Amino acid sequence: MDKMKLDACGKINLMLNISGVREDGYHTLETVMQTVSLHDVVEVRRRAQKGIALRCNLPYIPTDGRNIAWKAADCFIERTGFDGGVEIDIRKTIPVGGGMAGGSTDAAAVLRGLNEMCGCPMNEKALEEAALTLGADVPFCLKRGTYLCEGIGEIMTRLPDLPRCFIVVCKPRASVSSRSAYGVYDAWPSPRHIDAGQMIAGLQAKDLRAVAAAVGNSFEDPIGAECPEIPAIRQRLLEMGALNAAMTGSGSVVFGLFDDAGRAHKAKAALRASRYRTFCVRPVRR
């Protein structure tokens, strides 16, 4: 096999709680991550010339060693002794700087694609170990479904599937970098605790309304204070029938959970009319 094309799915954080700070300065999390159908398309190909060549449909995305997908290919080559070159084409749809793991999922797709293309020299554990060296979200992005992720994201526990629903995701005009988000959070005087147990109980009961009641994000108050579009979009989603709404990851995308397709698509249309990048997506199961 000389090439593979993969759908690199994004994620939302149904809940996210910052649980502490390690001695090395990394924040620890409790978060329930959910794969969604919004995806980039990543194609990986062998080439005779050694080295890595990367192209992307967005001109402002770096295509050299600063790109996490490029780093994923380099990591695979180093760990497997792959003899040859790699070409990567990325067609991005997941909003950049939105907290939906757009870069991480592209990196995961490169790792998985190269591994399958080369006859699986790395088992699942080795892939996850390689993924963790690239970023905290990359191990989750190798999987699909609903997971509790703890530590810095590397401790993953599979959870029951999110009940059938419709998810409207909306990207404010502002983007947020994870590094700056942690700084803003650390300066916030009254951080909010989000209960992972309540979310897990809702998933175990297969009760969408209980899941929606448990939605929340420790980052949302401080980041929302810096970016007023975030609480404004959340309020609009609630007014248009979302069971609940919250920011995902470290921002800035806001999502709403809907139990009715008609209301979800009307919300998408209304937010698009306000010139926000908005999608109606579905949860992806493993």
Q: Active-site residue numbers? A: 11, 137
Q: Give the residue ranges of DSSP H helices in the chain.
A: 68-80, 102-117, 124-134, 138-141, 178-186, 196-204, 208-213, 220-226, 229-239, 261-273
- The DSSP 8-state label assigned to residue 123 in this structure reads -
C-alpha–C-alpha distance, residues 259 and 26, integer Å: 36
Helices (H) and strands (E) in the chain, counts: 10, 11
C-alpha–C-alpha distance, residues 177 and 183, integer Å: 10
State the maximum Cα–Cα separation within the chain, in Å, rounded to a whole number. Answer: 56
Chain position carrying tokens 């380099």: 74
